[in-house]
Each structure stands twice: as C-alpha cells, then as structure tokens.
Structure 1
Amino acid sequence: MKGILYKGSELTDLVSFARLPSYLQAFLREQNGIVAYFGGLHIRGCVSDLSWHSLAEAWQGEQAFWRTYAIVQETDIPFAQDCAGNQFLLRGDAVLWLDTETGELADLEVDFKHFLFGAEKFPVDALGMEPLRAFQQNGGVLRPGQLLSVYPPFCMATDGQQTPSFKAIGATERLAWLADFYRQIKDLPDGQSISLKPL
C-alpha cells in the first residue's frame, strides 16, 4: 500500500480479534490496521484505545453501524472506511460497501484479498478518492483520525448551483453527522427538497 499515514501498533483487543475470519487476523497480525493512500483508506485495528481506529468501537460500540443502518447486520464486520466515511463491511467472505449518507448497501463482488488488490491497482476508482484528490489539490491534508466533510452531501442534487466543499474533521464527528443525516432523510421520497446547515 502507498501513502501510508498511520500503522496500528500491537493487538490489544484480543476479544474482537478472536471473532475475525482467519484472513483478516493474518492481515492484522502484520499491521494492526492502517491509514493508506493519504487517507483514502482506513483499515481498522483491534485496539482498546484510539476510538477512531478501533474495530470494536465501529462493530459493537454505541455508534456501531448496525444500530443506525437497518440494512447492516450485527454480524457484518466494518473493517474499513474511505476518505469520506463510507464503510467497507465483511459479510461472510464478501466485501460490501455502505453509503453512509443514504444507507444503500452494494456488494462489491470481491473477497478481502481481491478488495486489497483492487485498492492497490486502482485506488482512485476502488476507493472513491476523487474528493480527496480535489481536497489535496487545494492544499488540504487528511491526518490519521480525520475524514473529509463534504458539503453539500453527495446524494443531494443542487442543480449545479453549488460546488462541493471539503474540509478535514475528526472521524468520530464525521460519522456522527452522517448517521444523523441518514436518519433525517431515510424516509423522504426521491426529489424531496431539503435545506441543510453546513457542518
């Protein structure tokens, strides 16, 4: 992997580690999670500190994705996220992609090994890194523990009147905002007009 900003230290959450499939255990033994591609991909680690990096926090914590997004199962493992806070989940051996704005779930039709291979070979496409590149071209830098705040959200049509703006914010804050946004729009019909306050 390229553009490495952070590598996790020792495994300190052995309870979560024991529940993982062997191929993910093997990866985390080598590096207990990683932030790569200059923030384009964050693979969580089995740590008892650093809540932004903790797999257990995302999987079983108070803000676990299955608690907010009905389509996510409690057994789905939220092993990674992209630069804007969309999630990569393991369901069995399949890698799924959760759009955290809309709650839509897509099967990427790859396993963990091929997910990593695709990210390595085609990071911009595989990881949806266009917003991160735009942010970087304007001098922005994502640090470990940060995600991109995107305004207006990707799922909103603005009739070309507003170009998206990006800023780096804490991952916990970004994910909480996305969960709140999803709760507010999930039952609205397509094309519904809404107004938002920027983060």
Structure 2
Amino acid sequence: MKGILYTGGELTDLLSFARLPSYLQAFLREQNGVVAYFGGLHIRGCVSAPAWHALAEAWQGENAFWRTYDTVLETDVPFAQDSVGNQFLLRGDAVLFLDTETGELADLEVDFKHFLFGAEKFPVDALGLDLLRDFQRRGGVLAPGQLLSVSPPVCIHTASEKPQLAARPAADRLQWLASFYRQIKDLPDGQRIRFRPTE
C-alpha cells in the first residue's frame, strides 16, 4: 500500500479479533489496520483505542452501521472506509460497498484479497479518490482520524460546479452521514429538497 499515514499498534481487542475470518486475522496480525493512500483507505484494527480506528466501535458500538442502515446486517464486518466515509463490509467472503449517504449496498464481486489487489493496482477507481485528490490540490490534508466532508452531498444533483471539501473528525462525519441518511431514505428519486449545510 502507498501513502501510509497510520498503522495500528498491538492487538488489544481479542474478542473482536476472534470473530473475524482467518484471512482478515492474518492481515491484522501483520499490521493492525492502516490508513493508506493519504487517507483514501482506512482499514480498521482490533484495538480498544483510538475509537476512530477500533473495529469493535464500528461493528458493535452505539453507532454501529447495522443500527442505522437498513441494508446492513449485524453480522456484516465494517472492516474499512474510504476518504468520505463510505464503508467496505465483509458479508461472508464477499466485499460490499455501503454508500453512507443513501444506504445503497453494492456487491463489489471480489473477496478481501482481490479488494486489496484492486486498491493497490487501481486506487483512484477502486477507492473513489477523485474528491480527495481535488482536496489535496487545494492544499488540504487528511490526518489519521479524519474524513472528508463534501457539501453538498454527492447524491444531490446541483448546478454548482465544485463541492466544498473540508477535513472533519471521523466520528462527526459518520454521525452527520447517518443523520442525513435517516432524513432522505424514504424520499423518492428526483425529489426536490432544500439543503442547509450543517457539517
């Protein structure tokens, strides 16, 4: 992996670790999670702290994704996220992509090993790095524990040319995305809405 900003320390959450498939355990034994591609990919680790890096927090915590998103199962493992807070989940051996604005879930038709391979070979496409690159061109930097705020949200079609991009603490960004999803999830496609940025 390129552009590594952070690697997790010692395995301290052995309860979560024991519930993981063997291939993910093998990866986490080598490096207990990582923030790579200059913030474009965050693979969570089995740690008790920091909370933003803890797999257990995203998987079973108070704000676990299955508690918010109708398409996510309690058994889905939210092992990673992209720069804007979209999630990569393991369901069995399949890697799924959760759009955290809309709650739409897509099967990427790859396993964990091929997900990593795709991210390594084609990071811009596999990880949707266009917004992060735009943010970096404007002088922005994502630190470990931060995600990219996008205003207006990507799912909203607007006449404006460029979205406003800013680095936010990961917990704040994910909480905002969950709130946004709850507000729009029952609206029909093409519904006109008035958007007031609050992030």
- TM-score where L is the length of structure 1: 0.98
Which residue pairs with 1:79 in the alignment?
A: 79
Which residue pairs with 2:114 in the alignment?
A: 114
Which residue pairs with 1:40 in the alignment?
A: 40
Alignment of 1:173-184 (within 5 A): 173-184=172-183
**Secondary structure of 1:125's aligned partner:** helix
Identity of matched residues, %: 77
Which residue pairs with 1:6 in the alignment?
A: 6
CA distance in 2, matches of 1:92, 1:191: 34
CA distance in 2, matches of 1:4, 1:163: 27
Whichever residue aligns with residue 194 of structure 1, its letter is I
CA distance in 1, matches of 2:79, 2:19: 12
Whichever residue aligns with residue 65 of structure 1, its letter is F
CA distance in 2, matches of 1:161, 1:77: 36
**Secondary structure of 1:90's aligned partner:** strand
In the alignment, structure 2 segments of 5+ residues that lack a partner are none
Deviations 1:67-120 (A, max 9, x none): 000110000000000000000000000000000000000000000000000000
Q: Are residues 1:102 and 2:112 paired? A: no
**Secondary structure of 2:70's aligned partner:** coil
Q: Are residues 1:170 and 2:183 paired? A: no
Which residue pairs with 1:66 in the alignment?
A: 66
Deviation at 1:190, TM superposition (A): 1.1
CA distance in 2, matches of 1:23, 1:187: 37
CA distance in 1, matches of 2:116, 2:82: 13
Which residue pairs with 1:135 in the alignment?
A: 135
* Alignment RMSD: 0.6
Which residue pairs with 2:184 in the alignment?
A: 185
Deviation at 1:197, TM superposition (A): 2.1
Which residue pairs with 2:55 in the alignment?
A: 55
Deviation at 1:161, TM superposition (A): 2.8
In the alignment, structure 1 segments of 5+ residues that lack a partner are none
CA distance in 2, matches of 1:60, 1:14: 14
Whichever residue aligns with residue 160 of structure 2, its letter is Q
**Secondary structure of 1:27's aligned partner:** helix
Deviation at 1:183, TM superposition (A): 0.0
Deviation at 1:194, TM superposition (A): 1.2
Deviations 1:32-69 (A, max 9, x none): 00000000000000001111000000000000000000
